[in-house]
Every structure is written in C-alpha cells, then in structure tokens.
Chain A
Amino acid sequence: MKRIIIAIIFIPTLLLAHPVIYKDGWVYWGSFGPDMNTQRVSYTLDPKFSLETNTSWYQNNNEYRDYMLGANYLVKRWLNNDSQGNIYASYHAGYFKDLNTDGFAQHLMLMGDWESRRLYTAGSVMSFLYDDKEEFKYSYRFGFAPFVAGMNTLQNWVILKLDYFEAQNKNLLVTPMMRFFYKNVLWEIGANTQGDYFLTLMTHY
C-alpha cells in the first residue's frame, strides 16, 4: 500500500492544469524529477470535453509504473470581464504494476479554479480506487503574477501548492514553485518540503 501512496503524491501536480482547452487542441504535459517521470497527452474534442492518456514511473517506489486512459469534462465556466472560473470533473482508469504486484486502478477528480491576470487559485479533491480500497487527496494552489504580460510576452507566476493526503500520516506537503508561460509553452520548477524537486513542461497546439 505504501508504494501506491507515494505514487499518488505526485499525481495532482499532473491534474492541476487545465484538463480541457479549446476545440481540437492537443496538450503534451510532462513532469520530471530525479526518481520520477509522469507524462500525459490529451485531445480536446469540444470546449467541454477531452480525452487523455497518461503514464507515470517512480524509480524509488519499487519501480512503480501505471498506464491510464481517461476523460475530462468542463462542468461549469464563469466568464467575467477580467477573470474566469472553472469546475472540471475527471475519470481515469488503467493498469499499474511494480516489482511485486499489478492491478486495476481508477482516479476520480473534482477540481475548481479561478484566475485573473494577476491572481490564480485552484483546488481539487481526488479519489483513488485500487485493490478494493479508496483513498482521498486534497490539493490547493495559490499564485500571483509579479507583472502582467501581454500577448507573446513571457508571463511569470509564483505559486504555492499544498497537498493533504489522509493515508500519509496526515502530513501537509508544501511546494513553492515558479511558472513561466510563453506562447504555447509552460514551464514549472519547484521543490516540496520533503526535498523532492521537479521540472514540468506543458505545450499545447
């Protein structure tokens, strides 16, 4: 069970980005650390619905790997003049394995976000179902832009992410990070309070 819990810690990083974009939009998303690698490709069929495939690998976690297929749905979008808010629901299912065992795993997620050109906040609750067990994880992000960039200009964000996972001794994981957004490419770099650091790359077409 511990190996699955460790793997789950990283997953919300993947999911706390817009899972549905514009019609016919493709997204590649990858997050990399010394002992982990998680990647996803999604295709938005219409502005409310996307399909996605993702895979994860954790070296320090008994060579844990998973291969998932899933769907994301934009439940509600609020469009104000200078800001927008969104609620998304996601379901992913697939196969996991490590050096000792393998099986069927499912992820359910409900996520909300609100952003303006200056501020950004997002929260999610995730349910992980595997081996007849169900675990919950709660994540929250808050970020601000030190300056407001225009079209085709580098945009910078400073973000703080909080993760709370009941099964992991009720620890609160704090991750400060920097985000850079230029045209269709986004980078994130950060490290959590346990010393795990990562680099994330996202691009969309």
Chain B
Amino acid sequence: MIKVIIPLFFIAFSLKAETIKVHVPGMVCQMCVQGMQKQFKSAVNNAETDVQVDLDKKIVTVKTKAPITDEDIKKRVQNAGYNAEEIVRINKLPTIKPKEVKSLKSEKIQLKKVN
C-alpha cells in the first residue's frame, strides 16, 4: 500500500509545480541573477537550478515547487529591484493571455532556430 501511496504523493506534488517565464527589462549583470535567485529561493527547491536568468532575452525562468500568484511574482521581482512586464505560465495554459502566447511562440521559434 505504501509503495503505491508514496509515488502518488510525489506525482500529485509534481503536478502542482509549474514553470513560469517572466519578462524583466533592465537586467544587465550577474547581480541581477543573484537578486532573482535570492527572491525566488523560497518558491523553488534549488535556487541555482530552478531559477534561470537569460540576460540576452531578459527572461527569468522559475520552476516552482508550488503554484504562486502573479502578484507574488511581481512582488518578488520588485524586491530584486525590477519590474515584471509579462508573466507566462508554461503548464497552466488557461491563464495565458493571447499576447503572452504570441511571445511564447516567438520564443519557441527562436529556440528551434538555435537547435
């Protein structure tokens, strides 16, 4: 019984996690990276691996351990000294606005080009 319950528990827990992409203009240096990792530390399992900052595209990617609200994301980004311009939830499609879907598609196209 335990052998069934424990995996189910982890599956249920992992389903709650989500990947969030946040567009944050103005990030230019390593200090921005450290700031973002520090502010999202309590929302992820491992800040170094679960909070990635793309300084070229100005996108912070967060793999959360539990759902967090847009307001919470904006507050954390503000505490890092920046503003969250756009929030895209990768595995929560109903919350994505048409504009966000468009930017997400363009990002995927760019990724394909790189690959």
Q: Give residues in A with beta carbon < 8 Å to B.
A: 18, 20-25, 46-47, 74, 77-84, 115-117, 150-152, 155, 181-184, 204-205
Contact = CB atoms under 8 A, between A and B. Distances in A.
A116 B28 CA distance: 6
Interface stretch (B3-11, B51-59, B89-97, B106-114): B51-59
Chain B interface size band reads: 20 to 34
A46 B79 contact: yes
5 contacts: A21-B35, A22-B79, A151-B33, A184-B30, A184-B31
A11 to B, nearest CB: 22
B83 interface: yes
Given A25-B35, A151-B54, A204-B34, A115 B80 contact: no
Contact of B80 (A47, A74, A150, A152): A47
B25 A79 contact: yes
Given A77-B26, A82-B25, A115-B29, 6 more contacts: A22-B79, A22-B81, A25-B38, A181-B29, A182-B30, A205-B38
Contacts of A182: 30
A84 B30 contact: no
